[in-house]
């Protein structure tokens, strides 16, 4: 069980760090909401340490060690880590799921770029769909079709985040839009990073990414009916709130270079009310056949991992390779600091 003081710490972290998730989580039953807040607090802390820290390689390697300790039942003495270790034990969380997040954050640390939309979905699978799969585990849902739709929702939410943050990412030296889209538009990525401007071609890429997100939001809806009835409203709220962020980007002409879309409290309240209505309709409407659509190729391994009750698994070769690369980089940076 998660300690009450650790849970309160996680709630405070999410309340200030992720307003959209905090709003949606209020509609979840406490049996799901409390471990979900702990999960998001752990994931958010890990993401912030890699995203905002100066020593990104070291931050990823520290997260690797934190996961090892949590799965060994000896978490680091911090509220997020103790709470995460408790939910690992309580829900038999497959290790492959948080390690997918670890791999995605490692890709961030090395500044990986993605040649195609499939590559962007690969990244989104790790940093967002893995969290969607973990949410299903917290709801005691292991059905492959429901897991596939949860992963659709996670990828859609991450694509929305990327579309919203194009300018912010560019000013930090990062590109998440597919590089082949830049090539089609005749824009050199380095030139865009040097002077990010909301030209028509860039706004077109943002619109294109939002269209892919909308396709996945629609697919994800079919899976909500497969979730426990008392959890459906909260997931509907998350779907509507994040889709609303994409619509806010559209209202500003898909200029997410000089502008950053925001959604106010009043809009969130409207979406939460709509979520209640849709969740009630889910109880009486026939289930959509879309739930049986195959998972995205990029998330299939997550669906497989979450559907099996196997908590302890070895790290994938790809993860081991990038962790070794990061360790080498971290040691190089450390040697350079000592010699300075």
Per domain, the residue ranges of the chain are 92-335
Among candidate residues 231, 126, 113, 103, the one with its CA nearest the CA of residue 174: 113
Tens digit of each residue's pLDDT, the chain (340 residues): 899 999 999 888 877 766 677 777 888 999 999 999 999 889 888 888 887 766 888 889 999 999 999 999 999 999 999 999 999 999 999 999 999 999 999 999 999 999 999 999 999 999 999 999 999 999 999 999 999 999 999 999 999 999 999 999 999 999 999 999 999 999 999 999 999 999 999 999 999 999 999 999 999 999 999 999 999 999 999 999 999 999 999 999 999 999 999 888 899 899 999 999 999 988 777 788 999 999 999 999 999 999 876 555 568 888 888 888 888 877 776 666 555 4
What are the structure tokens assigned to 62, written together? 């520290």
- Which homologous superfamily does the CATH classification assign to the domain defined by 92-335? Farnesyl Diphosphate Synthase (1.10.600.10)
Alpha-carbon dihedral of residues 110, 339, 48, 264, nearest 10 degrees? Answer: -100
How many CB atoms within 10 Å of residue 133?
Answer: 30
272-303: b (≥16 Cβ within 10 Å) or e:
beebeebbeebeeeeebeebeeebbebbeebb
DSSP string, 243-306: HHHHHHHHHTTT--SS------HHHHHHHHHHHHHHHHHHHHSPPPGGGGSPPPGGGHHHHHHH
Q: Name residue, tokens 């959890």.
A: 231
pTM for the full predicted model: 0.92
């Amino acid at each position: 069980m998660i300690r009450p003081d650790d849970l309160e710490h996680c709630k405070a972290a999410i309340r200030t760090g992720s307003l959209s998730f905090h709003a949606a989580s209020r509609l979840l039953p406490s049996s799901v909401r409390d471990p979900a807040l702990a999960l998001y607090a752990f994931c958010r802390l890990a993401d912030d340490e890699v995203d905002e820290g100066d020593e990104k390689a070291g931050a990823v390697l520290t997260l690797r060690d934190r996961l090892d300790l949590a799965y060994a039942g000896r978490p680091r003495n911090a509220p997020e880590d103790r709470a995460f270790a408790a939910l690992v034990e309580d829900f038999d969380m497959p290790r492959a799921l948080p390690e997918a997040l670890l791999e995605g954050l490692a890709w961030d640390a090395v500044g990986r770029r993605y040649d195609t939309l499939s590559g962007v979905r690969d990244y989104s699978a790790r940093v967002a769909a893995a969290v969607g799969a973990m949410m299903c585990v917290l709801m005691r849902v292991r059905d492959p079709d429901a897991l596939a739709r949860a992963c659709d929702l996670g990828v859609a939410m991450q694509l929305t985040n990327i579309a919203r943050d194009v300018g912010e990412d560019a000013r930090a030296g990062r590109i998440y839009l597919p590089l082949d889209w830049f090539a089609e538009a005749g824009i050199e990525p380095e030139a865009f990073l040097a002077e990010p401007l909301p030209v028509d071609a860039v706004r077109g890429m943002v619109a294109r990414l939002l269209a892919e997100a909308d396709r996945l939001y629609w697919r994800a809806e079919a899976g909500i009916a497969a979730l426990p009835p008392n959890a459906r409203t909260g997931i509907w709220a998350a779907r509507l709130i994040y889709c609303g962020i994409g619509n806010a980007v559209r209202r500003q002409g898909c200029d997410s270079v000089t502008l950053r879309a925001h959604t106010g409290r009043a809009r969130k309240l409207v979406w939460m009310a709509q979520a209640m209505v849709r969740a009630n309709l889910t109880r009486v409407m026939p289930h959509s056949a879309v739930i049986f659509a195959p998972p995205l190729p990029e998330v299939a391994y997550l669906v497989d991992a979450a559907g099996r009750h196997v908590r302890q698994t070895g790290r994938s070769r790809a993860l081991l390779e990038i962790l070794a690369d990061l360790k080498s980089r971290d040691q190089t940076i450390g040697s350079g600091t000592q010699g300075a």
